[in-house]
Homo-oligomer: A and B are copies of this chain.
Amino acid sequence: MHPDFLPFIRKLEGLFPLSDEEKQSLAELPLQVRGLRADQDIVREGDRPSQCCLLLEGFAYRYKLLDEGRRQIFSVHIAGDMPDLLSLHLPIMDHNLGTLTPSRVAFIPHQSLRALTRRHPRIGEAFWRDTLVDAAVFREWMVGMGRRSAYSRVAHLLCELVLRMQVVGLAQGTAVQLPLTQEMVGDALGLSAVHTNRVLQRLRGEGLITWQSKVLTVEDWDGLRRAGEFDPAYLHFDRDAVA
């Protein structure tokens, strides 16, 4: 099996145990692998993609642009994610997907994915479940933007990112590679870049985090957790009880 495929398989196995036959079918998916530079769009609002993209290496993010330079970021994606899986059943993209860093992605035709999910309903259900967790994360961000302070929101986002990267083995202890600018953090949380900066300074001043040269380190996990009112239940790492 392609080694780049592993984070993806690992993620699926986090959703439910795969049979050999299922693994085989996954490995047989036709992949068209491409390298991308940073800040390149993979799909755009209005597109009708005929394939999904699997992120093998690097970071991606989804966003929508409004006039006057306003931007809302919806999600940040890491290796093993299929950020536009939704295009399999929503023909027209309603937002953009772009790279954050130089990345390698594999494109998989919708046709092959549809054939796969029909042949292996459990894989289809795992994909579905993946998009449901995606939506659960949106809900949690909504709670933040609607009802939490800027301070709490930033802390919450950092908790989420570190935890997600830990789970797929992309963290070294409590430190992660995080190629986000402060402006992007603001655009994800509905804050100005200036205020985002001040909040981050406070989090550093309180000894909760350090963040230099694109490496974020959580110095006080419990403190950060409390600052962000963070409860990871919404990430649905529980994998049981899927009949």
Contacts and interface: CB of A to CB of B under 8 A. Distances in A.
Interface in A6-64: 48, 64
B125 A89 contact: yes
Interface residues of A, number: 53
Interface SS majority for chain A: helix
Interface in A128-172: 128-129, 131-136, 138-143, 145-148
Give the oligomeric copy count: 2
A114 interface: yes
Contact of A141 (B111, B142, B188): B142
A187 B143 CA distance: 10
A190 interface: yes
A135 B138 contact: yes
Interface of A: 48, 64, 66, 70-72, 74, 86, 89-92, 94-95, 110-111, 114, 117-118, 121, 124-125, 128-129, 131-136, 138-143, 145-148, 187-190, 229, 233-234, 236, 238, 240-243
Which 6 pairs, one residue from A and one from B, show the smallest C-beta to C-beta distance?
A146-B190, A135-B135, A91-B241, A138-B138, A145-B145, A89-B129
